[in-house]
């Protein structure tokens, strides 16, 4: 872990940077997990267990992007993802602290403004963490996402059938898909080029090929020997429910056990379709962004 205090001693009179050698990973995991249990201090993304937190922290430790502050007996932890080429900065889980959110957030943000000038910074929390939400508003962050998290458990009892109107994306349709996707989501981190460069991670269904008139994308991943998928993009003129049904069919035959989808809270047609297909509401999320 990098000793940030040597680079930029920005702490207040009692606040100081902490290196990973001063706290074990187990201590960090236990601390973050206890904070996550309280809706008023909860961060995002959703963590199913301690191992989810451990994975985030280990990744930030490896990349030397884990920030830790201490003020007396109080600690605050902020893991970051940094894309230097794309000038993209993301907080993974927001700031985890039990008390003094305002004071810790000010110190973290001061450091980020100095070190990552010119970057686009993203951070998010569930709406139950009012202190964090209020701070971001005061600092000029723009709310770019108001999402509801839905989940659907897939089992052998599900009897999905694929319609004849959508199909799994094939290699000869990838260029058309990338063009279509980039037109719809010009500012998305997961643009067409990145998705296709990581094709093995994605399940993609499209309506038609030339031209494409609708698509849905789900990122596949595995943790603790269970297969998960998260739907990131769903768009069509009037066939969202069909696309959802068909991607669930594709995911089920791939052995996925849980499907996650964060949907804009104003997209009532998508919400209706999801609930009809058995998705359950779990939590909400507010995403914020600012140009540093």
- pLDDT value of position 280: 94
pLDDT value at residue 210: 74
The alpha-carbon radius of gyration of the chain (Å, integer) is: 21
pLDDT in tens, 112-141: 999 999 999 999 999 999 999 999 999 999
3-state secondary structure of 226: strand
141-182 pLDDT tens trace: 999 989 999 999 998 777 778 888 889 999 989 999 999 999
* pLDDT (0 to 100) of residue 227: 95
| CA–CA gap between residue 109 and residue 115 (Å, rounded) | 10
pLDDT band at 6 (very low <50, low <70, confident <90, very high): very low
Residue ranges per structural domain of the chain: 4-140, 150-286
The residues near 251 (Cβ < 8 Å, ≥ 6 apart) are 154, 203, 218, 220, 229, 259
Is 284 a residue whose pLDDT tops 50?
Answer: yes
Q: Decide: pTM greater than 0.85.
A: no
Residue 8 banded pLDDT, cuts 50, 70, 90 = very low
C-alpha–C-alpha distance, residues 199 and 193, integer Å:
10
- Answer whether the bond into residue 255 is a cis peptide, omega within 30°: no
Same fold: 4-140 with 150-286? yes
> Is pLDDT of 281 > 90?
yes
**Cα–Cα distance list, 51 to 55, 86, 225 (Å):** 6, 29, 12
User: Which of 3-17, 98-112, 181-195 comes out lowest in average pLDDT?
Assistant: 3-17
More confidently predicted of 239 and 105: 105
Phi, psi of 170 (to 5 degrees): -105, 165
CA quadruple 244, 148, 82, 176: dihedral, nearest 10 = 20
Would you give the distance in Å from CA 100 to the centre of its chain? Answer: 25
Q: What is the CATH number of domain 150-286?
A: 3.40.630.30
Q: Residue 200 pLDDT > 50, yes or no? A: yes
pLDDT given at position 208: 80
Provide the pLDDT confidence category of residue 239 given band limits of 50, 70 and 90: confident
Residue 189: φ, ψ to 5°:
-60, -45
CATH of segment(s) 4-140:
3.40.630.30
Q: How confident is the model at residue 22 (pLDDT cuts 50, 70, 90)?
A: confident
Residues 57 and 79: their CA atoms lie apart, in Å, by: 7
- Residue 3 pLDDT > 60, yes or no? no
pLDDT, residue 48, reads 82
The per-residue DSSP string of 194-230 comes to HHHHTGGGEEEEEE-STT--EEEEEEEEEETTEEEEE
């Amino acid at each position: 872990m990098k000793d940030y205090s040597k680079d930029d001693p920005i702490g207040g009179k009692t606040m100081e940077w902490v290196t990973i050698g001063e706290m074990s990973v187990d201590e960090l995991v236990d601390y973050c997990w206890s904070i996550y249990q309280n809706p008023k201090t909860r961060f995002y993304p959703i963590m199913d267990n301690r191992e989810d937190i451990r994975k985030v922290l280990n990744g930030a430790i490896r990349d030397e992007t884990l920030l830790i502050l201490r003020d007396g007996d109080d600690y605050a932890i902020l893991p970051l993802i940094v894309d230097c080429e794309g000038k993209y900065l993301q907080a993974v889980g927001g700031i985890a602290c039990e008390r003094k959110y305002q004071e810790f957030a000010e110190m973290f943000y001061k450091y980020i403004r100095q070190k990552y000038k010119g970057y686009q910074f993203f951070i998010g929390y569930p709406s139950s963490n009012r202190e964090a939400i209020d701070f971001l508003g005061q600092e000029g962050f723009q709310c770019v996402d108001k999402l509801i998290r839905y989940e659907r458990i897939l089992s052998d009892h599900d009897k999905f059938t694929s319609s004849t109107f959508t199909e799994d994306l094939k290699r000869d349709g990838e260029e058309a898909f990338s063009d279509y996707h980039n037109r719809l989501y010009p500012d998305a981190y997961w643009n067409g080029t990145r998705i296709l460069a990581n094709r093995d991670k994605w399940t993609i269904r499209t309506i038609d090929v030339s031209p494409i008139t609708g698509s849905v994308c789900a990122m596949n991943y595995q943790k603790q020997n269970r297969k998960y998928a998260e739907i990131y993009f769903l768009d069509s003129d009037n066939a969202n429910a069909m696309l959802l049904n068909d991607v669930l069919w594709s995911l089920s035959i791939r052995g996925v056990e849980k499907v996650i989808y964060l949907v804009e809270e104003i997209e009532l047609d998508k919400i209706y379709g999801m609930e009809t297909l058995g998705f359950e509401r779990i939590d909400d999320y507010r995403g914020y962004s600012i140009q540093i």
